[in-house]
Structure 1
Amino acid sequence: MILKLKTSIVFFFLCTLSIFAQKSELSGKVVDADQNFPLEYATISVIDAETKETVNGGVTNIQGEFKFKVPKGLYDLKVEYISFETKMFENIDLTSNKNMGTIKLGFEAADLEEVVVTAETTTVDVRLDKKIYNIGKDLTTSGATITDALANVPSVDVDVEGGISLRGNENVRILINGKPSAIAGFGSTDVLRQLPADAIDKVEVITSPSARYDAEGTAGILNIILKRDKTLGFNGSVRAYVGTPLNQGVSVNANARTDKFNIFTNLGYSKRKPDGNAYFENDYTSNNSVYDNLMEEREYKRNRENYNANIGSTYFINDTTQITLSYFTRFGDDVDKTFNDTYRYNAGSLSSQTLRTEDEREDENSHQVSLNFEKKYDREGHKLTADIQYSIDNEKTSNFIDENELFANQDNIVTESLTEKTDEKDFLVQADYVLPMGEAQFEAGFRGNYKNEKNDYILYDENNLGDFVLNDSVSNVFEYDRNITAVYSQYGNKFGDFSFLLGLRFEHTQLKGKTTPYGDVADIPGDIELDFDKNFKGLFPTVNLTYELSEDQNVTLGYNRRINRPRSWYINPFPSRSSRTNIFQGNPGLEPAYSDAFDIGYLKRWGKELTLTSSVYYQKETDSFERVQEDTGQTTSDGIPIIRSIPINLSSNERYGAELGLLYNPARWLRLNGSINYYKFVTEGDFNGVNYDADNESFFARFSSKVDLPWSIQWQTNAFYRGARENAQTKTEPIASLNLALSKDILNDNATISLNVSDLFNSRKRENRTITDQFTSYSEFQWRERQITATFVYRFNQNKQMSRQQGRGQGNGDGGEGEF
């Protein structure tokens, strides 16, 4: 199969070279006549002037540009874009290369009521360093969150706890509009569960990042581009939803545009009760335990209320210069209650039963101020951008824990009161300069990202007199600084059908931590240093190559070097206390991991009906992170061994993989989307005398279909399956889920109602089994049970199709700076 493909590619390449001299190149750019915005996906048809047959064609890219090779001759050119006037250029002499310049299309207002809505399914656009998925009208994410929307993006997997991975690798960098942001939770994915999915315009899957991006994230980068309308006048939409278990909210998007100002806002409120459950079972094989078996049944009752607002304005100083000021804020009020029923057995008989309840209250507020400056020069693509961003995040968690014996003596085992305060400050400054040079492009930039985090953890124990006394061996203050300074430069060029982008990035990192226990002695399992100050620097080269086999197919090759820096929760030495017997502990001795990755991709389009994307990839990571479980040697007050999970550096981790995606639109009423990702990894390493070598393979696949039913009803089905996985200690069982949705446009297409069911069969559960010399552990976890949601959307002063297409037309303004 591979040999045949190679032979076909070589044959096509030779044929292309043989007829290259007989062809001419036709190029140009299509823009909106009113605002000069590039029109992406405008249809271009090259028609023989004599026979009137179409000989070539396609769609414009994100900059509105097109370029075709056709045999020399006389042609007509037809340019079309939905809701815009059609332009025809006749008798174009293509005896030599011809550039049509900028083609301006005016809006065809008279046809507003007759617009046929198309392009509502996810589409893909392949660049030198990334794939761009325009989310389209995904019915299953109505009333859902950004995390739910990411679960439908090819190459991306979202586990039951909201953890996001790319091609099976969890070390993925999340950016908002090209930058780290409070909106994305500074690396934590919890915040993405609170924000509405309808805020997303598109998602960039960057598996071979160029030098303009952070070197962070060995798996790659997910860049979430948010919607921002730039249409003249006042327009927007209101969205309201309600669901069971309780899931209700409302959001308002509004935009007002004049010649000099563009004012935009997004306001949202949500209240959710995503209840969950879990089960844990430990069988002890060592003599360290007074019990043979321990079982925990957990029930999570969550009540989460959130408010968010994103307000900003762009001032157009002149035709080439603009400045944007925006403010984002989010307030969260979460009340969670956890019931942990624990059974302890000896020789098959119940010896003890306890009930542990946790009442947790979490108040969080985030604020982010961003200032963006953009200056465009006379030459197309020549520009300078600068950004300043300051963010603060304050979180306070109070937790009252009560554990009682139910079986024998009915005694109180432990009563604790826990308070945790976390304050984060993040300052980002960056500048990017792009200089086109004919077919070539040079780019250089600077980024400084400086973060300070302070975590104050206070634990009170109830004594025999009923008084709460400070536990000074556990209470502590953890201060953490993460400072990254980077510069980069890259150069790209195009020679015929061959394009390349070469880059080099330099980053200097400081990770500094200081832990101050409230008492003289800290109760910490293991021999772990409390304070650290690490400085490291590195060069990160990137290479991205593309060869256009034809106008509708290409081959890409990418290489990049990446880094995985430990997050604060991975290096905080004090253990968590969600359970007395199963704890998580950070490791301050954790060193950064480095990876080298290669990616070969192939894309083929068959008109507008079928698009195939595929790639094979290889990655080798040194000092890779691995979470392992081990017996701490300590026991609880009632003699139960304490097992900890701790991240460590293994010697290496090698990954091999391949993925295949298909977008198929066989008819106007049917749209299909499927993908499969297979990967294999090999790890090697030892820790505390235990060997953690492992060799495992797995895959995940998804399928989506959208059907147009009678009476203008749309029906969408999303299915997901992930195969079994296994590392050095733990095997994870397969998981499958199914989502369904229906929608209908009403009120002259100004409004839409929809109904969706998430996890129809209530099967989205994670099952793990861990085997060591001291114990065997089994766990089952379901973060959220089946969800049913109804949504109503009303659009004002906004044509449905145009709001979507113009949102895409902004292109480089949000995170795609300096595209080549």
Structure 2
Amino acid sequence: MIVTFQVFSPPITKNTLHYMKRIIILILLFCSVITAKAQFGGGSTLTGKISGTVIDSVTKKPVQYASIAIYLSQGKAPINGVLTDEKGSFKLYSIKPGSYRITITFIGGYKTKTINPVVTTPSKLDNNMGNIILSPDNKVLNEVQITGKGPLIENHIDKLVYNAEKDITNTGGNASDVLQKVPLVAVDINGNVSLRGDANVRVLINGKPSGAMSASLSDVLKTIPADQIKSIEVITSPSAKYDAEGSAGIINIITKQKNVSGVSGSVSGGIGTRQNNGNFNLNYNKNRLSIAANIGGNLTWPQESITNFAQTFADTAKQGYTRNSTIKRYGTISSVTAAYDFNNYNNISSTFRYNRGGFDVNGTSNNYYTDSNTPTLDQAYTNGTAQHNLFDGFDWSVDYTHKFKKEGHEIDFSGQWSHSIVNTNYTNLYTPEALPNQRGINDGTNNEYTFTVDYTLPINKVFKFEAGGKTIIRRLNSIYDVFGGADLNTVDEVNTNTYDYNQNVYAGYSVFTITLPKSYTLLVGARYESTDITGDPSNSLQDLQQFSNSYPIFIPSFTIQKQLGTTQTFKLSYSKRITRPSLTYLNPFINKQNIQAQTEGNPELSPEISQTVELNYNTFIKSSVINFSVYYKHINNLIEGIATPLPASDSIQGTLTDYRNIGSNNSWGASFYGSINPIKILTIRGSANAYTYNPVPSGDFAADQSASGTYVQYNIFGMAELDLKHDIVAQVFTIENSPRRTIQGTNPSFSLLGFGVRKQFMNKKASLGLNVLQPFNKYKYFDQNISSPGFTQTSSTAFPFRSIGLTFSYSFGKLTFSNPKQKDNNDDEKQGDQGIGGAGGSR
């Protein structure tokens, strides 16, 4: 853990020491509270463990990833649970003396087995159950060979789970690469994430927001090694328990935080022509104390791209350029988590996660300008650009859980402090000086404080009640300095500015889960959220006023599920969501970093309000899994960027893009996921999502609509896996995402083809692999088209995607897997902007 911070911590500055002092003071205060708690209430009790090994009754081999749940002998709700490891073994810790019931399940493969009673006593705290024989379920999976390998995709009542650690082609990549393979999710060339075509999605890490992600989501995702990711949860219809932000839903990245016996860990990574990755995990668990540390990072080789850009104004003036750019990127992310069980009723855990990354862009473009009405204004010039970007920050969270004597009755308290900075420095030089040379420095700072309480009460076998409250306090600041003149040291007082933005969110919720007769389950809830914002723009030459606004909203949620036998499930759900415009969308300063493509925020924006109705069907058919959904979504106050021509000045024209509530959108969609095993060694998986874009612009925005009608957009993913002899696995996958429309045109499509093969050694503790992406084409082309009254714009970027890499991994120690506890989330800002900075925050 010491190595983690020595290697990846930034240079110690006054600001760093300031925050370190804060952390030390908070830790001391927190420890004093916990010490008092231990002394004056909730003293420790004697506990032991229950262990065993699950064996296949036919093959006599260990059953991996079987679910182990422990109940009181006469109890209805599970007390705890784990998954069996690669040797079929499990261990349940912190077990008080008593009589228990143990159930072993493997969905879709084996019959559930129950053992009752399993007894521990004060004189014999540990109970080793020995070998537990599990029989295949012939009714469910006739003629299916069980290999002990867990499913890649799981369907739950409230979410879809993609088990990333079971996909060999993820090794050596980053979180953006992994998200591309998740059903219903799409990632574009810039790393922007969308869920079922909607970019207003919240991305969490272990159920919690990250301040770094709110600052620069696409960049942070590229810093997370794929080897750190255990699974990814997709929640398309969140209940009232979740924050209401994000019209598309929630994506939750679960990292490999495991409970282990003794000391264990793993090291993995990859070396390739596109990027290099490394990741190290270390886990320690003894009795009531568990500690997990993780460190990882990546470094890309310089990547050269070519962009062709063209604009036409009033059918007479034309300008454009051909740009050659080189980008270099790096990133690190590390974390330490500690948890302690005071007794069976009180638990505390804390996580500190540090993130640092950046990228440099250098480019040269050959520009032209022509005007058929005034040929004397025609000219050509070059533009040299240099840009350095840095993002840095941490998230520190503390969670305390108190369990009452009644099973499932508990209260959780959680607090988190997220701190992040985003710095952008750039220089633009023109030869000859057709446009003013410019140098800019943009420093953005974000501090976010979250306080949450969640209460759960199982009233009886039929009713479960949940309630809670939450407060989020955000304080953001942007300082943007612009310089010009011959030496680029003269302050540009027109464009230099500062901007302070404050946001407070207050929320409360209640949810009822009702178990009805005939295998029906009802989940109904309500949430109320109130958002208060203030913005204070400041510039010595501009008369900009402070602004404020508030967004109160009532959010109902409803889900009803019907279970048909053991293999089929129907689910109908309704959800309402809000997408609040964040700092960049509200910043009134004009960003003139690119004089020909300027951007401006709008303090008068209203939040988007969406309502979604979804019908879902899931089934197991022998060795196959099928999941199918149809849904309808209506969005009011749809937010889009509208580009309009700037007045011509000195023979140079351009566009200004500002954010507006352009109207509403009605969307129908359908999604599908399937997995089959046509032969023993082959698994084929595929997912598809298709949806409509049918905006109804209001007022003046009807004139900005380049085309009318209903447009069908889609995301498709397919994979085939061969499980060969001698622990060799091979995979091939393909991704196809259609262009995304706005009322002014289309954004680029995306497609990808990849191959991977992996050989495991040392009883599957070590592996070597080979991954190949886009083998038949060096470049991928990303095209964009925009048109509106007064101008048209096209661009095409050729980006190098072909790559080949070697991957490796090694695990040591004995692991007992457990599912990380999921907490409430912050998902409460529109995530379309990629920076917290001011007018110069564009990258």
Asked whether the two chains share a fold, i.e. TM above 0.5, the reply is: yes
Which of 251, 254, 263 aligns to 1:222? It is: 251
Give the drift of 1:285.
4.0
1:672-694 deviations in Å (ceiling 9; x for gaps): 11011110121112464653554
Aligned residues: 719
In 2 relative to 1, CA 811–458 (structure 1 residues): closer, same or farther, beyond 3 Å? closer
Alignment of 1:184-263 (within 5 A): 184-185=213-214, 188-245=217-274, 247-263=275-291
Pick which of 160-169 and 622-631 moved more: 622-631
The aligned residue for residue 419 of structure 1 is: 441
Return the letter of the residue paired with 1:618. Answer: Y
Matched-pair contact (CA < 8 Å) for 1:43–1:60? no
Give the drift of 1:699.
1.5
Partners of 2:114 and 2:131 lie apart in 1 by: 29
Q: State the secondary structure of the residue aligned to 2:87.
A: coil
Q: State the secondary structure of the residue aligned to 1:573.
A: coil
- Please tell me the root mean square deviation across aligned C-alpha atoms, in Å: 3.4
In 2 relative to 1, CA 136–467 (structure 1 residues): closer, same or farther, beyond 3 Å? closer
Alignment of 1:623-772 (within 5 A): 623-633=637-647, 635-636=648-649, 638-686=650-698, 688=700, 690-692=702-704, 694=708, 695-732=710-747, 734-760=749-775, 761-762=777-778, 764-772=780-788
Partners of 1:510 and 1:815 lie apart in 2 by: 21
In 2 relative to 1, CA 180–563 (structure 1 residues): closer, same or farther, beyond 3 Å? same
Q: State the secondary structure of the residue aligned to 2:166.
A: coil
Partners of 2:658 and 2:55 lie apart in 1 by: 54
Return the letter of the residue paired with 2:672. Answer: L
Pick which of 672-681 and 786-795 moved more: 786-795
Which of 133, 147, 150 aligns to 2:176? It is: 147
In 2 relative to 1, CA 126–189 (structure 1 residues): closer, same or farther, beyond 3 Å? same
Give the drift of 1:270.
2.3
Q: State the secondary structure of the residue aligned to 1:477.
A: strand
The answer as to 2:492 corresponding to 1:471 is: yes
Give the drift of 1:329.
1.0
Give the drift of 1:775.
1.3
Which of 317, 332, 345 aligns to 1:307? It is: 332
1:644-665 deviations in Å (ceiling 9; x for gaps): 2222102211111001110223
Give the drift of 1:733.
6.0
Partners of 2:365 and 2:388 lie apart in 1 by: 17
Matched-pair contact (CA < 8 Å) for 2:640–2:742? no
Which of 269, 284, 305 aligns to 1:277? It is: 305
The aligned residue for residue 506 of structure 2 is: 485
Alignment of 1:186-585 (within 5 A): 188-245=217-274, 247-273=275-301, 275-286=303-314, 292-347=317-372, 351-405=378-432, 411=433, 413-437=435-459, 438-463=461-486, 466=487, 468-496=489-517, 497-517=519-539, 519-521=540-542, 531-585=546-600
Partners of 1:83 and 1:748 lie apart in 2 by: 10
Give the drift of 1:815.
6.1
Give the drift of 1:750.
2.2
Give the drift of 1:37.
10
Partners of 2:701 and 2:262 lie apart in 1 by: 68
Matched-pair contact (CA < 8 Å) for 1:285–1:773? no
Return the letter of the residue paired with 1:119. Answer: K
Which of 147, 151, 156 aligns to 1:126? It is: 156
Partners of 1:150 and 1:669 lie apart in 2 by: 26
1:127-158 deviations in Å (ceiling 9; x for gaps): 1x222222242222211111111111000011
Pick which of 249-258 and 328-337 moved more: 328-337
Residue identity (%): 24
Partners of 1:206 and 1:276 lie apart in 2 by: 37
Q: State the secondary structure of the residue aligned to 1:651.
A: strand
Matched-pair contact (CA < 8 Å) for 1:400–1:417? yes
Partners of 2:527 and 2:326 lie apart in 1 by: 46
Partners of 1:35 and 1:297 lie apart in 2 by: 67
1:219-257 deviations in Å (ceiling 9; x for gaps): 111122222110110000011321113x22322100011
Q: State the secondary structure of the residue aligned to 2:366.
A: strand
The aligned residue for residue 526 of structure 1 is: none
Partners of 1:588 and 1:37 lie apart in 2 by: 59
In 2 relative to 1, CA 655–228 (structure 1 residues): closer, same or farther, beyond 3 Å? same
Q: State the secondary structure of the residue aligned to 1:472.
A: coil
The aligned residue for residue 775 of structure 1 is: 791
Give the drift of 1:597.
0.8
In 2 relative to 1, CA 461–553 (structure 1 residues): closer, same or farther, beyond 3 Å? same
1:609-658 deviations in Å (ceiling 9; x for gaps): 1100000000111111122221133x35x322221222210221111100
Partners of 1:187 and 1:413 lie apart in 2 by: 30
Partners of 2:635 and 2:239 lie apart in 1 by: 18
Which of 631, 644, 655 aligns to 1:617? It is: 631
The answer as to 2:195 corresponding to 1:166 is: yes
Return the letter of the residue paired with 1:191. Answer: V
Give the drift of 1:495.
1.5
Partners of 1:334 and 1:142 lie apart in 2 by: 22
Alignment of 1:584-603 (within 5 A): 584-603=599-618
In 2 relative to 1, CA 600–88 (structure 1 residues): closer, same or farther, beyond 3 Å? closer
Give the drift of 1:186.
5.4
Give the drift of 1:295.
2.0
Give the drift of 1:779.
1.3
Matched-pair contact (CA < 8 Å) for 2:535–2:547? yes
Higher relative contact order (CA 8 A, sep 6+): 2
Give the drift of 1:697.
1.4
The aligned residue for residue 14 of structure 1 is: none
The aligned residue for residue 812 of structure 2 is: 796
Partners of 1:430 and 1:543 lie apart in 2 by: 23
Give the drift of 1:534.
0.5
Partners of 2:378 and 2:266 lie apart in 1 by: 60
Give the drift of 1:102.
7.5
Matched-pair contact (CA < 8 Å) for 2:351–2:397? yes
1:396-426 deviations in Å (ceiling 9; x for gaps): 2221221213xxxxx5743222111011101
Q: TM-score, normalised by structure 2?
A: 0.79
Matched-pair contact (CA < 8 Å) for 1:663–1:674? yes
| Unpaired stretches in structure 1, ≥5 consecutive residues | 1-32, 48-58, 66-78, 90-97, 406-410, 523-528
Give the drift of 1:107.
8.1
Q: TM-score, normalised by structure 1?
A: 0.81
Partners of 1:322 and 1:611 lie apart in 2 by: 37
Give the drift of 1:276.
5.0
Matched-pair contact (CA < 8 Å) for 2:635–2:665? yes
In 2 relative to 1, CA 650–44 (structure 1 residues): closer, same or farther, beyond 3 Å? farther
In 2 relative to 1, CA 365–254 (structure 1 residues): closer, same or farther, beyond 3 Å? same
Partners of 1:547 and 1:653 lie apart in 2 by: 31
Give the drift of 1:764.
4.3
In 2 relative to 1, CA 60–117 (structure 1 residues): closer, same or farther, beyond 3 Å? closer
Matched-pair contact (CA < 8 Å) for 1:356–1:402? yes
